[in-house]
Amino acid sequence: MKSMLTIACAALLLAGCSKSTDHAPSGDDAAVQATPVTKGDNQRPAYRATVLGLAAGSYGGTCNGIGGPMPPEGVTIGRDGRVVAADWTINLAGTRLSLVRTLDGGAAPAGTFDASGGERPFQLIVNSAGGGSAMFGEGGHVAQCTNVSSASNLAAKPLYPVVAHYFTGAGATLSCVEGGALRKTVVKPASAGVAFGEHQLGFDANVVQESISVEADDSALQYGAKYADRSHVELSVDAAGKLVMATYTISSGVAVMCSPG
């Protein structure tokens, strides 16, 4: 992710600190925010609303501002995609969204939410590592908060169960390339993993990092899982809910890449 950018922004903001409130959603609120929104007839899947539901909240702590007033309550992300920091506001419609959850040994899970792009160049990063941080920058305006305890909500729960319903039922016979050979393979995501033909991969305790992302034009939802042995899986469904990409790479680096056709 863009942790180096976050560190760089933090280095610029060494002065002018102000305490701000840090509002973490309550357990009930978080549950509501993380509730997936299913698609109806003639409607596109609610990929963006699902990811925003996981990221929504107020991320305040010790905050600084450059090029504008210091944000009194940190950076707030709404379920509707509206981001507010003091008098700066931007909408995340038309931007790429990414959420990563990492488990590192016995340490608490870490989460990072990242959004960028759109018609107005900006950068938004919320990271739970190191006590939590939030950065929202647009042009010459930058809001940076540290000691953001509410950022831990980004890693509170595994990600796949939240998006599994978009992938289950999207199984398909795909053209898969493995070691230079092309073969037809049935790829079938399920509620707790995925099958590449006879090869079963579970999204379980062996996963050390998982990610979900939504393209800027809402054309696809991706899910990725990495395992302790360095193997990893990636799945992608398009706006119609069809499986359009599936790959898995074993620990030796040999990859199986599948797509329609």
Two tokens, residue 15: 């002065």
Which of 105, 130, 155 is at the close of a domain?
155
| 189 and 253 inside one domain | yes
Tell me if residue 114 falls in helix, strand or coil. Answer: strand
Question: By residue range, what is the domain housing residue 90?
Answer: 3-155
| 9 and 125 inside one domain | yes
Higher pLDDT, 261 or 241: 241
Q: Which string of b and e fits 168-186 if b means at least 16 CB within 10 Å?
A: eebbbebebeeeeeeeebe
Confidence category of residue 70, pLDDT binned at 50, 70, 90: low
| 130 and 245 inside one domain | no
| 188 and 132 inside one domain | no
Task: State residue 184's pLDDT score.
Answer: 95
- Say if residues 85 and 124 touch (Cβ distance below 8 Å): no
| 71 and 57 inside one domain | yes
Which of 117, 139, 155 is at the close of a domain?
155
Tens digit of each residue's pLDDT (9 = 90 or more) over 213-229: 999 989 999 999 999 99
Question: What's the total number of domains in the chain?
Answer: 2
SS3 content of the chain, % helix, strand, coil (to 5): 15, 45, 40
| 164 and 233 inside one domain | yes
Which of 135, 155, 175 is at the close of a domain?
155
169 to each of 43, 58, 237, how far by Cα in Å?
Answer: 17, 35, 11
Question: Looking at residue 26, what DSSP letter applies?
Answer: P
pTM of the model: 0.81
Give how far the C-alpha of residue 14 lies from the chain's centroid of Cα atoms, to the nearest Å.
Answer: 28
Task: State residue 215's pLDDT score.
Answer: 92
Task: State residue 53's pLDDT score.
Answer: 95
- CA nearest neighbour of 214 among 119, 125, 114, 84: 114
Q: How far apart are CA 11 and CA 93, in angstroms?
A: 29
Tens digit of each residue's pLDDT (9 = 90 or more) over 108-117: 899 999 998 7
pLDDT at 32 over 60: no
- CA nearest neighbour of 136 among 127, 128, 146, 126: 126
| 118 and 193 inside one domain | no
| 39 and 127 inside one domain | yes
Task: State residue 41's pLDDT score.
Answer: 41
